[in-house]
Structure 1
Amino acid sequence: MSVHPVEQRIVSVRPIAVPAPGRSVELQVKVTAPLAGRDLPVIVFSHGNAWSHDGYEPLVDRWAAAGFVVVQPTHLDSRRNGIGWDDPRFAGIWRVRIADLHAVLDNLGDILAGAGGLEARTDRGRVAVVGHSWGAQTAGALLGARVLDADGAPGEDFSHPAVAAGALIAATGTGDTLTPFAVEHLPFMRPDYSTMAAPTLVVAGGEDRSRLSSRGPDWFTDAYHLAPSPKSLLTVAEGEHTMGGVAGEAVAETTDEDPARVALVADAIAAYLLGALKVDGAAWDAFNEAATEGVWSLSGK
């Protein structure tokens, strides 16, 4: 079903503090990397709502085994920080999330040094951002997407020059289809993908039906259809919002538990980024050739 990564022993280091002036809670990250190898590319990963750098091991460990250094910040909305929907700080967390990723990228050398001297084995010229759900909108901002205001005008540009490519898993769609709950609590969930120019893989589930939008699963494909080329779309036919359990096996949010589906998503992103970051141009072609009819499909532009 998937292209298996090279088997490598991996190691994780946490927590590593990252300077983030003005943040009400210390920004901490986890770094996961293969024990061997040099010139390793980097993935900065943004988690979904309420998670932390301790989640998403099924994805992160597989990426590290495939040769990536993965850096995971814990965003302010993590359950461990106790900032819920009705907290007055919640409305601004989307900006803090983006600032977190900028802080990680701006301090990447020190982060890698704090993870056991990884800076000598990492190629900081090959950096990608990846996110799931709210994290996908966060990562998308660094790839060039913007947020529309109440009048439909695009907001500021949060792209980062260090980011060369990315992948968005279950990314928020566009349009005036937010449910009343989303309008009240998540008014920033109005992305503009027309400026998201960086090479990006969009991953969408064929059975992902969000309570935040009145549209169906196609809502999660807007990042592919509305952004300029080059873009690729991986559609996982039976995937729901957690794509089989990307945040972890048997967690409460997993409604479609399937470890093979998680491996598929992880391997697709690894193969795409190896190509987009010019590490291994054959990896994405090999993944494309392994497409399984009725299980997943690929589109590109």
Structure 2
Amino acid sequence: MASTVLIAGLIGCSADTRPTTGGQTPPPEPTTVATPTPQVAAGSAPKNTFAVGVRQLKLNRDGRALPTTLWYPAAGQSGGAAKRSATVAEGRFPVVMFSHGLGGRPDDYAKLLTRWAAAGFVVAAPTFPHTSKGADNNVLDVLNQPADVSYALDQVLALDSAAGDALRGRLDGERVAAAGHSAGGVTTIGLFTTGRDDRLDAGVVFAGTALGVGTAFAGAAAPQLFVHGELDEVVEYAAGKAAYDKVPWPKAMLSLPKGDHGRALLGDSATLRLVSDTSVEFLRWSLYGDPEAKKRISTDATRGDLATFDDHL
């Protein structure tokens, strides 16, 4: 998982640091300012819980291998483990792009991500070429990852019109979010700043910081949910809070007084259930446009005195 290498590698980067490609000077940081126009129309999220299917995509962006795991709502009885290549449920589902932490892999987060899929979302999680488990842990390559996620999103959304693909007609490309943990949180913030992907309607940042990608949030309003442990030993809580404070859109921060860098995201615990329930309701509201889900966000967030909730949604 993420380690202190994340801080060691990014601490020398200013908030304006941008990735380089092929030795060329990167383009200047976008000057577009954030606007208050929401992108998702009002609607209703599914009330039922789905079974979950899982499959793999072999993606490659200009020599950068990006094998991507897809979790999706499946037909059949809900509950139990995700089933490989299960039949896709009926309906059209929003897409959530998830970025893992340094030294991690998508499967590490399966307990959280399968809960999202069971709630009615297609979750796509690339394995990054230099920051995943077994890679060279080149932390500065995090700055290239927002472009990796945008490329992976291109390929995932293309399945909606791909002849013969099981997800044909099942993906709602007008309702898309990005989420990520630690280095993946940096990646996610980057998708709303230096690497703004205008298709994104919302973001979820777990234990993230804006080091290297800055806080020049741009484009149409995209609600953000930050989740951070106050005892985080890798990315200081203050660093995550500082990035959160710069978000100009509807936002909320779930703070875990006893939370560390995010180990609670990896196992079935009371904290995971609270984070899962809160983030599910946030995604139901921000991607399905469900007003009833919005009412439930703060209730879930403050359940059991496990967290505090700064709510500006």
The bucket for the TM-score relative to the shorter chain is 0.7 to 0.9
1:105-160 CA distances to partner (integer Å, 9 max, x unpaired)? 2222335659952131121110000000010110111122xxxxxxxxxxxx3101
Matches within 5 A, 1:66-85: 66-84=119-137
Equivalent in 223, 230, 242 of residue 262 of structure 2? 242
CA contact (8 A) 1:32 1:70 kept: yes
Match status 1:285 vs 2:295: yes
Structure-1 separation of matches of 2:148 and 2:213: 19
Q: Which residue of 1 aligns with 2:285?
A: 275
CA contact (8 A) 1:13 1:115 kept: no
Deviation for aligned residue 1:11: 0.5
1:55-104 CA distances to partner (integer Å, 9 max, x unpaired)? 210111100111110001001134555313xxxxx264123312210111
Matches within 5 A, 1:134-213: 134-144=183-193, 157-172=194-209, 189-195=211-217, 198-210=222-234
Q: Which residue of 2 aligns with 1:108?
A: 156
For the aligned residue pairs, the C-alpha RMSD in angstroms reads 2.4
Assess, with a 3 A threshold, how the Cα gap between structure 1 residues 121 and 300 changes in structure 2: closer, same or farther.
Answer: same
Assess, with a 3 A threshold, how the Cα gap between structure 1 residues 117 and 242 changes in structure 2: closer, same or farther.
Answer: same
Q: TM-score, normalised by structure 2?
A: 0.72
CA contact (8 A) 1:137 1:191 kept: yes
Assess, with a 3 A threshold, how the Cα gap between structure 1 residues 110 and 191 changes in structure 2: closer, same or farther.
Answer: closer
Q: Which residue of 2 aligns with 1:227?
A: 247
Amino acid paired to 2:277: D
Question: What's the secondary structure of 2:173's corresponding residue?
Answer: strand
CA contact (8 A) 2:104 2:132 kept: yes
Assess, with a 3 A threshold, how the Cα gap between structure 1 residues 207 and 31 changes in structure 2: closer, same or farther.
Answer: same
Deviation for aligned residue 1:54: 2.5
Structure-1 separation of matches of 2:243 and 2:294: 20
CA contact (8 A) 2:69 2:124 kept: yes
Equivalent in 62, 68, 82 of residue 29 of structure 1? 68
Number of residue pairs matched by the alignment: 248
Q: Structure 1 stretches of 5 or more lacking a match?
A: 85-89, 145-156, 174-188, 250-257
Structure-2 separation of matches of 1:219 and 1:159: 21
Match status 1:300 vs 2:307: no
Assess, with a 3 A threshold, how the Cα gap between structure 1 residues 64 and 92 changes in structure 2: closer, same or farther.
Answer: same
Q: Which residue of 2 aligns with 1:128?
A: 177
Q: Which residue of 2 aligns with 1:40?
A: 93
| Higher relative contact order, chain-length normalized (CA < 8 Å, sep 6+) | 2
Q: Which moved more, 1:200-209 or 1:163-172?
A: 200-209
Assess, with a 3 A threshold, how the Cα gap between structure 1 residues 92 and 292 changes in structure 2: closer, same or farther.
Answer: closer
Q: Which residue of 2 aligns with 1:178?
A: none
Match status 1:17 vs 2:58: yes
Match status 1:218 vs 2:238: yes
Assess, with a 3 A threshold, how the Cα gap between structure 1 residues 91 and 53 changes in structure 2: closer, same or farther.
Answer: closer
Deviation for aligned residue 1:281: 1.9
Q: Which residue of 1 aligns with 2:166?
A: 117
Assess, with a 3 A threshold, how the Cα gap between structure 1 residues 199 and 91 changes in structure 2: closer, same or farther.
Answer: same
The percent of aligned pairs where both chains have the same amino acid is 28
Assess, with a 3 A threshold, how the Cα gap between structure 1 residues 43 and 79 changes in structure 2: closer, same or farther.
Answer: closer
Match status 1:59 vs 2:112: yes
Amino acid paired to 2:110: E
Structure-2 separation of matches of 1:95 and 1:194: 15
Structure-1 separation of matches of 2:286 and 2:132: 34
Question: What's the secondary structure of 1:168's corresponding residue?
Answer: strand
Assess, with a 3 A threshold, how the Cα gap between structure 1 residues 115 and 164 changes in structure 2: closer, same or farther.
Answer: farther
Q: TM-score, normalised by structure 1?
A: 0.75
Equivalent in 49, 53, 66 of residue 7 of structure 1? 49
Q: Which residue of 2 aligns with 1:259?
A: 269
Structure-2 separation of matches of 1:95 and 1:223: 16
Assess, with a 3 A threshold, how the Cα gap between structure 1 residues 161 and 191 changes in structure 2: closer, same or farther.
Answer: closer
